[in-house]
Structure 1
Amino acid sequence: MEVVEKVVTDRGELVLRRDAGHCELISNGVFLMDTRSGASERTLVDAAVSAVAPGGRLLIAGLGVGFSLASAVSCATLAEIVVVEIEPTVVAWHTTHLESFSGGALRDPRVRVVVADLGQWLATTEEQFDAICLDVDNGPDWTVFDTNAALYADAGTALLRAHLRPGGVLAVWSAAASEDYAARLASTVGPVSTVLTEVEHGEPDVVYLARLAGS
């Protein structure tokens, strides 16, 4: 295992390490994600985009190792892709160590990166989207940072809903199923469907899709 870079951020220590050609992100000693698969992250975007008409605007909440963004860029019908990522170091790594995993997607002219806390940014912008893909921490029931839990609570879910256009879709990645969160999505946003992705060990990854009523 090779440590590629280790930095101290406002949220503590962030480590990028490499193992057998793959990269891992470690935050304060806790594993966040790696580049070994990305199937469920691609599913997150593909499922959301499939419900969006040509010319739509997509918000990706969380850049991670770039699988979601690469999948979004591959969709020619999207007019604009906004990525909100809190950690500038992660954005910088996508011009170096992680560039091959995101396919150089940051260079796509439709892509705009906002370096900010998602909740704070949403509270200060009036931008609306046809689809929002939320992939922050490990989902509603296991967050590495306590502040991220607010995104999955009642107020955070309502805030995300406020930035959907009529008929828009909120797609949420989770490391495990959460009946309580699915119920919150249904009551706050609209009808919910679920897509499962089997993983090598443990419970399947889950993508929740909640659709807002049209105008």
Structure 2
Amino acid sequence: MAPVTPTQATTGLPEAPRTIDRREGPYGEVVLRQRGGPPADPGIDGSGAPAAPVVYEIIANGCFLMDTSDGRSERLLVDAALAALPAGRTRPSVLIGGLGVGFSLARAAGQPRWGRIVVVEREEAVIDWHRTGPLSAVSAEALADPRTEILPADLVAHVRTETGQGTYDALCLDIDNGPDWTVTEDNNSLYSPAGLAACHDRLTPGGVLAVWSAQPSPAFEEALRNAGFNGVHTEEIPVVRGVPDVVHLARKGA
């Protein structure tokens, strides 16, 4: 009999994540991994071990970005921005920076109040994983929504150079692990005085900037105030271990 490979069912430990796709792009390597699902070893007795819940992970240049295990903070990013908009504003537009695993887009598309929904994503691989890959389970309905537009572009460049329909009622940004923990060095400029000024310019009067972060950043709150935003505050989402995820919120003057 062939030796049996230990699995989660036999060891009590989670199986190592399996790589579903790996791409080399202009900003480095991006990887889609899967945890859970049918076990690799069906068991000695042939009865089969129960399948663990499937979780997909996005890794960029070796840095964990996000996964599909929860999504509460990504949904809060959109909910908090909508709640902070001036009362009575109808069909507000929103720019979502970073498609990620799709929770923020799905949340926005599930809320009838939003009008135009624009998602800026620089990684073609991530867009592919949503359009034709396993992440379509999260985003297929949102991508089919006529309000949704996907722009394959770098968010930093887009915010600084967009013309025409270049203002939004809300900017919901989630391209890093936070202002103090960027995925690539180029992203640092988004949180600089010039980058925040560009975000301010892209908002309509009374518009809201919402920035996701893996940890609170008092320095970023101060930077938002220095950039001319008001109503600056932070909303927290508790996590299983460590400091809470947060959403930094700020409003442009009316």
The TM tier, using the shorter chain, reads over 0.9
Structure 2, unpaired ranges of 5+? 1-16, 37-53
Determine if contact 2:216/2:234 at 8 Å carries over to the other structure.
Answer: no
- The separation in 1 between residues aligned to 2:83 and 2:231, in whole angstroms, is 16
Offset, 1:28: 1.8
- RCO (CA 8 Å, sep 6+): is it higher in 1 or 2? 1
SS of 1:94 mapped into structure 2: helix
- The separation in 1 between residues aligned to 2:91 and 2:183, in whole angstroms, is 35
Offset, 1:168: 0.4
SS of 1:191 mapped into structure 2: strand
Deviates more, 1:94-103 or 1:108-117: 94-103
Pick the aligned partner of 1:122 from 159, 164, 167. 159
Offset, 1:89: 1.1
Q: Which amino acid aligns with 2:247?
A: V
Structure 1, unpaired ranges of 5+? none
Is the counterpart of residue 22 in structure 1 residue 58 in structure 2?
A: no
Q: Which amino acid aligns with 2:77?
A: L
Q: Which amino acid aligns with 2:106?
A: A
Is the counterpart of residue 106 in structure 1 residue 143 in structure 2?
A: yes
- The separation in 1 between residues aligned to 2:211 and 2:98, in whole angstroms, is 11
Pick the aligned partner of 1:208 from 241, 248, 252. 248
- The separation in 2 between residues aligned to 1:207 and 1:36, in whole angstroms, is 18
What is the TM-score with the length of structure 1 in the denominator?
Answer: 0.96
Offset, 1:187: 2.4
Determine if contact 1:63/1:90 at 8 Å carries over to the other structure.
Answer: yes
Q: Which amino acid aligns with 1:141?
A: D
How many residue pairs match? The answer is: 214
Q: 1:103 to 1:46 in 2, by over 3 A?
A: farther
Q: Which amino acid aligns with 2:110?
A: S
Q: Which amino acid aligns with 2:136?
A: E
Pick the aligned partner of 1:83 from 119, 124, 134. 119
**Structure with higher strand content:** 1
- The separation in 1 between residues aligned to 2:160 and 2:253, in whole angstroms, is 22
- The separation in 2 between residues aligned to 1:156 and 1:57, in whole angstroms, is 20
- The separation in 2 between residues aligned to 1:154 and 1:130, in whole angstroms, is 21
Offset, 1:103: 4.7
Deviates more, 1:176-185 or 1:103-112: 103-112
- The separation in 1 between residues aligned to 2:35 and 2:108, in whole angstroms, is 27
- The separation in 2 between residues aligned to 1:15 and 1:170, in whole angstroms, is 29
Q: Which amino acid aligns with 1:198?
A: P
Is the counterpart of residue 11 in structure 1 residue 27 in structure 2?
A: yes
